[in-house]
Amino acid sequence: MYSVILSTASRYLLILLLLFSVFLLLRGHNEPGGGFVGGLVAAAACALYFIANGLEAARKIVFFDPLRIAALGLLLAAASALPSLLLGNPFMTAVWIDTGIAPLGKVGTPLLFDLGVYFLVLGVTLTIIFSLAAEDRRS
Amino acid sequence: MLSLLVTGFLASALAPVLYRRFRENFGWIAVIFPLFMFFGFLSRYPEVAAGEVIRESVPWVPSLGVNFSFLLDGLSLTFALIITLVGAAVFLYAGAYMKHYANTGRFFLSIGVFMTSMLGLVLSDNMLLMFVFWELTGISSFLLIGFDHRKESARRAALQALLVTGGGGLALLAGTILLHRVTGSVEISSFYGMSGIITSHALYPAIAILLLFAAFTKSAQFPFHFWLPNAMEAPAPVSAYLHSATMVKAGIYLIARMNHEIGGTPLWQDTVLIAGTATMLFAALLAFGQTDLKKLLAYSTLSVLGTLVMLLGIGSELAVKAFFIYLIAHSLYKGTLFLVAGTLDHETGARDVMKLGGLRRAMPVTAVTAALASFSMMGIIPLVGFIGKETVYKAILELEYWGVFLIAAAVAANAFIVMITLFVGFKPFWGETLLTPRPPGEAPLKMLIGPALLAVLGLLFGLFPGVFIAVMLQQSALSILSETLSLKISIWQGFNLVLLLSFVTLLLGGVLFLVRSRMPERLLALRAPALLKPSAWYEGSLRLLSSLARLQTRLLQNGYLRNYIIVIVVTAISLASFALYRSAGRFVLEPAVAVTFYEVALAFIIVVSTVLLITSKSRLKSIVALGVLGFSIGIIFVIYGAPDVALTTFAIETLNVILFVLVLYRLPRFLKLSRSSNRVRDSLIAGGVGVFMTLIVLYATSFELSPELKRFFAAASLPEGKGRNIVNVILVDFRALDTLGEMTVLAIAAVGIFAMLKLRTRGRA
Amino acid sequence: MILLLALIIGVLYAAGTYLVLRRSMVKVIFGLIFLGHAANLTIFTVARPTKGVPAFVPENALAIAEPFADPLPQALILTAIVIGFGVQAFTIVLFKRTYQTLGTEDLDEMRSTDTLE
């Protein structure tokens, strides 16, 4: 399935799509988007790169083991509950930092949670695709 | 008291670790635990003796009325003292007795859990809490009977005891629930004064029968007695502790505890009286054919349990007095004799009384201990057993109507008990010396202290009944009958009819002993036909159950996935259709809003791709159809104001196509596997499901939707969630815990996929 | 328009049910996907979808005014779609491994573990 055009295009598309996914993630609190869509778009970007350049190249680009990315996501989401525990509020009560940080908008635990969702969805999807691809090549 | 029980469970959990450290000296460590509890309860003695009822309550599930509420009055204190004292004797003994077994640490864990749950059972003021402890004693009993799990007979006996007493436990739970419906509470102390309401309620017979069923199974009353003799598979300390002194008295405790509020009716009293008398008599007769030390003791225990139940059935003041004294006496002497039987087995390797004799020189201390306990068991002055038996006779003689029959039954049963005592307590030690498998020797100190202590207490209780028994008797009677007894206890009551009956009992027992000793074994080979044995009914019902299970498995779980689905779908649809049919009048179709061309076109595309997918034989076409379907549904979400959902759908559909390309090309071409008759049947079912779901959706949309949640989220999103995208705010803030759960599901799916593909088992099927 | 959606749901359920009753594993997977779509649409439709206005609080406003789409079923469906994808991938892989191990995709030949002797 190797194609020079696709392979070349996919490099730029990857960067663009990843940027777009982060954009979706960050604006998700106010506009359409969010961790789920962001993660899926990022995964689709990597999948596209995999189709164009093969499994090894894709693994190199992703760099981390996808299952670990998923674990990181779960951990981040769970960690977003910690502040509420420490402050003695009901479990998972949101905590916000009052002054916003310029490119991110308002910062608070829900953003951390959304980031967790993003990584989890990305990790899970890549785990599925990469495992299947490796299996595909072996058989 | 809650903290005491928690400590008990924790200490039990430590037992295996500590055992590994101390090995055969562990008995000395283990004994601290029951002794500590014993003195703890003893310290409350003055308060309880003064008539105080100590209560404690910690909420557990307050909304369901389940609380850790405890009640310490005369009755529960007496039981608690027996449990901990006999426990101390048994723990010390077991340390030495169990040293040749494997997994002795686990043994102490189970028996520690048992002791703690048994304490919980008698202390509970909440019936649901009592149920929990009731089942815990059953489970620890199961583990202990089956302790030697390599023996099939032990496993069978353990299962039998568990099923019989566990069934009783369920009855206790059911009875508790019914009681709750009548009284609105499950706290035992809240039943006080409601006797009239309970006994006149329509549910009363059911409550009474359920509770009695629970009590009879636990305390091995006829016809549920058969599990107890089989439970003798357990190591001797277990038999001494669970199956004579404590657990089998849990049912009796229940009857005594419930007696005042739920008893008193002819139904209750007569059932209890008849079951008790039957058990007392039959168990004694059944003992005649036994020669095994522990089986003999088991049947005598059954007989005594029957006597105790019978006394509660009589229910007079004198009967309660007799009940109480007999209960204490029995725990003391029977515990001792079971331990003695264990010692004999341990030191000589034989448990058959016909093969034991003349051991008094080799085992002098054990012989004296056994003799002391035996005198109590036979009811010989001045031991506590004597007072017990005298009072039992007196209580029966007081009766007018049944008196003659009952006294004959009681004397007969007691004569058999005398015979058992002669076999167990005397024959092994006196008479001619018989050769045993192992050369006999005295048991180690650890195995002597416990039984000797209990036997000596039996003597002390008999000599000074006023000191040891009278006060607790008064308080217990208060719990059982809610009136004080002013009856004095004294050991010598002069020459009267009762004393004469005692002599007759002893004489008869001696005669029985002589007859039995000289009787050839083959005369005993006669057995009752299987149909008359309750244990045969038990076996039969177990077999029936397993063949029923087999039958329904063959019918329903036949390995064809689609049959499972058909059963589920058809059942669900028919039941729900019936409900839908009955409310057919409430359908309201919304007024027809102009449907746009786009919507109709979209619906058309969905239907076409569906049909294409079902009929297509090409894999590529199928994937395309699936993609078209997914994107069309995404467009529906766009039209109806759900951009986030639509975005997600589009992203997922894209990934789906990749997934299918990766997998599907490796699978074979579609084959037409089903017969056409199956296809017709499946189409009919599928069509039914489709029509039904359409109707369900129309029906559901016929009602006004509560706008509360919608309004809440709309109003709270910005101020509280600091976000304008309400859907996302719900996902990451308001319902973040749900989302976290869903994320976990996803992660598990990924791990599962990873494992399935990466980790291959060696040796493929 | 609810009638139209209800009809679509009916078609999807019927197709899904028919497909999960097939003997071929691939068809069963397709059936599961259909049932997933159908269930999501059902949740969506039962909450009375309104055309247009999504559930966003407009700029410079504190709350959103009626009419707007109910956000709760959307949140439910959104996670359901993603989970559905995960579970569906799991099923696909399970079937694939089964096919590799047993060499058949006919469900009727896979009943040896479920039957009594």
Please say whether the beta carbons of B424 and B378 come within 8 A. no
Say how far apart CA B276 and CA B271 lie, in whole Å. 8
Please say whether the beta carbons of B4 and B40 come within 8 A. yes
Q: Considering only the beta carbons, identify the residue of A124, A131, A132 that sits closest to C86.
A: A124
Q: Is B401 exposed, middle or buried (0-12, 13-18, 19+ CB in 10 A)?
A: exposed
Amino acid at B433: T
C78 min Cα distance to partner chain A (Å): 8
Comparing alpha-carbon positions, the chain C residue that sits nearest to A39 is C82
Which residues of chain C does A128 touch, with a Cβ-Cβ cutoff of 8 Å?
A: 86, 89, 93
Helix, strand, coil percent content, chain C, rounded in steps of 5 = 65, 5, 30
Q: What are phi and psi of B631, to 5 degrees?
A: -65, -35
Taking residues B419-435, what's their average pLDDT?
87
Comparing alpha-carbon positions, the chain A residue that sits nearest to C75 is A36
Contact A30 C54 (CB under 8 A): no
Provide the 10 A C-beta neighbour count for residue A113.
27
Q: What are phi and psi of C20, to 5 degrees?
A: -70, -10
List domains and CATH numbers for chain C.
2-51+68-107 (1.10.287)
Q: Where are the domains of chain A?
A: 4-138
**Lowest mean pLDDT, pick from A101-105, B307-311, B340-344, B631-635:** A101-105
Say how far apart CA A106 and CA C8 lie, in whole Å. 41
Contact B686 C58 (CB under 8 A): no
Please say whether the beta carbons of B648 and A40 come within 8 A. yes
Q: Which of B172, B169, B156, B175 is nearest to B229 (CA)?
A: B156
Q: Which of B609, B645, B659, B740 should one mutate to test binding to chain C, selecting the residue with the greatest count of C CBs within 10 A? A: B645
The answer on pLDDT for B490 being more than 80 is no
- The answer to whether A99 contacts chain C (CB < 8 Å) is no
Contact C56 A31 (CB under 8 A): yes
3-state secondary structure chain A: CCCHHHHHHHHHHHHHHHHHHHHHHHHCCCCCCCHHHHHHHHHHHHHHHHHHHCHHHHHHHHCCCHHHHHHHHHHHHHHCCHHHHHHCCCCCCCCEEEEEEHHHEEEEHHHHHHHHHHHHHHHHHHHHHHHHHHHHHHC
C24-73 pLDDT per residue, tens: 888 888 999 999 999 999 999 988 887 778 888 887 777 777 778 888 88
The answer on pLDDT for B463 being more than 90 is no
Taking residues A67-84, what's their average pLDDT?
90
Q: Where are the domains of chain B?
A: 264-526, 599-671, 706-765
- The answer to whether A136 contacts chain B (CB < 8 Å) is yes
Say how far apart CA A132 and CA A138 lie, in whole Å. 10
Contact B613 C15 (CB under 8 A): yes
Q: Considering only the beta carbons, identify the residue of B652, B732, B744 that sits closest to A40.
A: B652
Contact C87 B749 (CB under 8 A): yes
B295-352 pLDDT per residue, tens: 899 999 999 999 999 999 988 888 888 898 999 999 999 999 999 999 998 888 888 8
B546-573 pLDDT per residue, tens: 889 888 877 777 777 888 889 899 999 9
Contact B664 C20 (CB under 8 A): no
Coil, strand or helix at B630: helix
CA-based diameter of chain C, in Å?
72
- The answer to whether C101 contacts chain B (CB < 8 Å) is yes
* pLDDT (0 to 100) of residue C27: 86
Q: Is B240 exposed, middle or buried (0-12, 13-18, 19+ CB in 10 A)?
A: buried
Contact C17 B685 (CB under 8 A): yes
Coil, strand or helix at B66: strand
Across chain B, mean pLDDT equals: 86
Q: Considering only the beta carbons, identify the residue of C23, C48, C101 that sits closest to B673.
A: C23
The answer on pLDDT for B765 being more than 70 is no
**Tokens (6 digits) for B743:** 């994320």
The percentage of residues in chain B with a pLDDT greater than 90, rounded to a whole number, is: 34
Please say whether the beta carbons of B211 and B254 come within 8 A. yes
- The answer to whether C52 contacts chain A (CB < 8 Å) is no
Q: Which of C29, C82, C97 should one mutate to test binding to chain A, selecting the residue with the greatest count of A CBs within 10 A? A: C82
DSSP character at residue B292:
B
Please say whether the beta carbons of C25 and C13 come within 8 A. no
Interface of A with B in 86-125 (CB under 8 A): 91-92, 94, 96, 106, 108, 110-111, 113-114, 116-117, 120-121, 123-125
B71-130 pLDDT per residue, tens: 898 889 999 999 999 999 999 999 888 888 888 888 999 999 999 999 999 999 999 999
Residue B500: partners with Cβ closer than 8 Å, 6 or more residues away: none
* pLDDT (0 to 100) of residue B288: 82
Taking residues B377-404, what's their average pLDDT?
86
Say how far apart CA B228 and CA B218 lie, in whole Å. 9
Provide the 10 A C-beta neighbour count for residue A98.
7
Q: B735 pLDDT band (50/70/90 cuts)?
A: confident
Please say whether the beta carbons of B157 and B87 come within 8 A. no
Say how far apart CA A66 and CA A119 lie, in whole Å. 9
The answer on pLDDT for C117 being more than 80 is no
Please say whether the beta carbons of B256 and B321 come within 8 A. no
Contact B742 C90 (CB under 8 A): no
Q: What are phi and psi of B543, to 5 degrees?
A: -65, -40
A106-138 pLDDT per residue, tens: 678 888 899 999 999 999 999 988 988 887 776
Taking residues C91-99, what's their average pLDDT?
84
Q: Is B98 exposed, middle or buried (0-12, 13-18, 19+ CB in 10 A)?
A: buried
**Size of the B and C interface in Cβ pairs below 8 Å:** 273
Q: Is the peptide bond before B707 cis (omega within 30 degrees of 0)?
A: no
CA angle A47, A48, A50 (to 5 degrees): 65
Q: B763 pLDDT band (50/70/90 cuts)?
A: very low
- The answer to whether B747 contacts chain A (CB < 8 Å) is yes
